[in-house]
Amino acid sequence: MTQKILRVDMGKGTLNYEDVPEKYRRLGGRALTSKMISDEVPPNAHPLGPNNKLIFAPGIVTGTGSPNSGRISAGAKSPLTGGIKESNAGTPFAKTLAQKGIKALVIEGKAKKDKYYILKLGNDGEELVEADDYLGMGLYKAYDKLHEEFGDNIEITGVGIAGELGAANAGISYTDPEGMSSRYSGRGGLGAVMASRGIKFIVIEEPEEDKIEIKDKETFDKGRKKLAKALSEHDVTKKGGALYSYGTSVLINIINESGGLPQRNFSEGSDDRSAQVSGERKAEEIKKRGGVRPHKCSPSCIIRCSEIWTKEDGKDPVGVLEYESVWALGPNCGIYDLDVIGELNRACNDLGMDTIEAGNTIAVAMEGGLLDFGDGEGALKLMDEIYNKTALGRILANGAEYTGRAFGVDRIPTVKGQAMPAYDPRPIKGIGVTYATSPMGADHTAGYAIAPEIMGVGGEADPFDIKKGELSKSLQRATAAIDSAGYCLFIAFAILDIEEGLEGVVDTVNGVLGTDYSIEDVMNFGKQVLETEREFNKRAGFSKEDDRLPEFMIKEELPPHNVVFDVPDEELDSVWED
């Protein structure tokens, strides 16, 4: 087998390639990171301490050229939740790591305090290079400098100032196809895990030889074509469809109309001004300014939901402004100005922070009286506090729950310490079940119950129906399987509707691995991933009492539908029953 595990011990300063043990050979992406974390990290390890590990793993099909396969999983024990974390990203870094033959990159141990290194994975060998010149530098500039230092033929992953602070909202940034810091394993503070090992950047050179093995090329090709056909025919994923035309922000107006777009720290579910930051509005502006829309986040993508947002004069590109980011930094803070949101998003990408957590943090700070809702200029000044590493900046960089405590706020929209994304769980109850029960904390991608509830993809569901355990369970399993295969979650729109597409996914996985898995086997695979994660969390001290939404969402009615989250605890717990 040409694929290896690369283990980098920052305490010892050693780099070793290891054979892939039998038990890991048929795993990839999230299945592999979660299994390895579960096997190798003690559940009581401090997330920033010497016993935590950060593991990068491309999915099973990543780098093969199958459509939308440019995904990577990063896994560790999370400084934000205290539980296991897998944070998934679409980036050219993913395929480059896979083609280099690295099935998993394990970063363990800790370098000497305040020493940071660049891990260079070059075609002529691997080395650790001192990163002192890059400390305190924003990531846009740092990535430019790294390209100057190491050439254009590289992909980068890195941590920013938030990581240097050891902050629980530090994400891991990756290069987009333009080489900018705009793709993220944002959630769960994994950037702090990376920084606390003493790794500032990983620079990987495009390999001269593609080391991905496809065991059964015929089955793989058959599957690849089936999936491509499904994606190019389905209304959501096809050229000219919603994701292609408007990106994920198409949801701003839809979810706002449904009464489920949280405004001003989850105090209302709709505001007419949300239209000013809608996907349609943004697409018009990008066209006018000369940005890019549609855009691929990684080379194999055929959905193209990404984009490049710029300043008004068409200069200073930020990268994509995702639905979740626009909402978190916008309506959730009472901010309805795309330029302000764009600059806040730029600051997050530059500091190395997750936008969802950052937006919730600002909103909670607004609730706590630090600044007024709608104060965009004030919100940008808060980002300066983090750049300047002030005491306030350190509080803010630790996320919504930490900031809420610092300012005496009793309405903090978090589960297991992680802030909620852009769907209020009171009118959209299925997503609430996923927020409550996912081993990841409040996470929309973990079981995208929005799909059947609002969009009408993949079966039937009524947003207000409280029997959502079964729905969330099957979606969480499907998601875990997709995250492990290395596909973009958005293929789910097409494969849940078009059976041939689902067959294509299974065929490509079988083609790469030389296996004979059925659709049922793959779903069961997702179930096992979740069980591994839940088991780790149990050992780390979590119980079903942690699978609950914050009290204010159970007591406080959300306008305009004036509903509370009333899914019974037993229904939440049913997610973990067979």
Partner 1 sequence: MEIEVVLYGKLRERGERSDDTTGSIGSVKIEIEEDSCITDIMGLLEIKKDEVSHIFLNREYSDIERKVEDGDRLALFPRDMALLYKWYFTKKK
Return residues touching partner 1 (CB under 8 A). 234-236, 240-242, 245-246, 250-251, 253-254, 257-259, 270, 272-273, 275-276, 278, 280-281, 284, 451-452, 454-457, 459-463, 493, 497, 560-561
Which candidate, 207, 229, 247, places its Cα nearest to that of 93?
A: 207
Q: Is the CB of 225 or the CB of 561 nearer to partner 1?
A: 561
Minimum CB–partner distance for residue 508 and partner 1 (Å): 24
Rounded distance between C-alpha atoms, residue 464 and residue 485, angstroms? 32
281-311: string of b/e by CB count within 10 Å (b at 16+)? bbbebbeeeebbbbbbbbebbbbbbbbbbbe
* CA end-to-end distance (rounded Å), the chain: 36
Q: Is the CB of 305 or the CB of 363 nearer to partner 1?
A: 305
Minimum CB–partner distance for residue 336 and partner 1 (Å): 9
Q: Which residue reads 């979606």 in tokens?
A: 475
Q: Is the CB of 220 or the CB of 246 nearer to partner 1?
A: 246
Residue 302 identity: I
Phi-psi region of 82 (alpha: psi -120 to 50; beta: other; left: phi over 0): left
Q: Is the CB of 179 or the CB of 559 nearer to partner 1?
A: 559
Q: Is the CB of 295 or the CB of 534 nearer to partner 1?
A: 295
Minimum CB–partner distance for residue 560 and partner 1 (Å): 6
Minimum CB–partner distance for residue 269 and partner 1 (Å): 8
Cβ 517 vs Cβ 382: under 8 Å? no
Minimum CB–partner distance for residue 471 and partner 1 (Å): 12
Q: Is the CB of 193 or the CB of 231 nearer to partner 1?
A: 231
Rounded distance between C-alpha atoms, residue 251 and residue 423, angstroms? 10
Q: Which two tokens stand for residue 454?
A: 């609002």
> Strands across the sheet with 172-175, in order?
125-130, 117-122, 199-205, 154-158, 172-175, 181-185
Which candidate, 144, 187, 139, 135, places its Cα nearest to that of 164?
A: 135
Q: Is the CB of 327 or the CB of 493 nearer to partner 1?
A: 493
Q: Which residue reads 């569901």 in tokens?
A: 461
Q: Is the CB of 240 or the CB of 408 nearer to partner 1?
A: 240
Which candidate, 163, 119, 113, places its Cα nearest to that of 138?
A: 163
Q: Is the CB of 40 or the CB of 285 nearer to partner 1?
A: 285
Q: Is the CB of 238 or the CB of 405 nearer to partner 1?
A: 238
Cβ 213 vs Cβ 1: under 8 Å? yes
Rounded distance between C-alpha atoms, residue 167 and residue 396, angstroms? 9
Q: Which two tokens stand for residue 336?
A: 């309805």
Residues in CB range of 210: below 8 A, 6 or more apart: 63, 99
Minimum CB–partner distance for residue 120 and partner 1 (Å): 42
Minimum CB–partner distance for residue 276 and partner 1 (Å): 5
Minimum CB–partner distance for residue 254 and partner 1 (Å): 6
Residues in CB range of 90: below 8 A, 6 or more apart: 70, 71, 183, 297, 298, 301, 488
Cβ 484 vs Cβ 526: under 8 Å? yes
Q: Which two tokens stand for residue 268?
A: 């209302």
- The separation between CA 482 and the C-alpha centre of its own chain, rounded to angstroms, equals 14
Question: What is the β-pairing status of strands 102-108 and 4-9?
Answer: parallel
Could you tell me where the beta strands, DSSP code E, fall in 342-501? 414-415, 418-419
Q: Is the CB of 134 or the CB of 244 nearer to partner 1?
A: 244
Minimum CB–partner distance for residue 520 and partner 1 (Å): 24
Minimum CB–partner distance for residue 229 and partner 1 (Å): 15
Q: Is the CB of 365 or the CB of 491 nearer to partner 1?
A: 491
Minimum CB–partner distance for residue 319 and partner 1 (Å): 22
Q: Which two tokens stand for residue 123?
A: 């075609």
Which candidate, 231, 170, 169, places its Cα nearest to that of 402?
A: 169
Minimum CB–partner distance for residue 421 and partner 1 (Å): 16
Minimum CB–partner distance for residue 473 and partner 1 (Å): 19
Q: Is the CB of 165 or the CB of 558 nearer to partner 1?
A: 558
How much is the CA Rg of the chain, to the nearest whole Å? Answer: 22
Alpha carbons within 13 angstroms on the beta-carbon side of residue 5 total 22
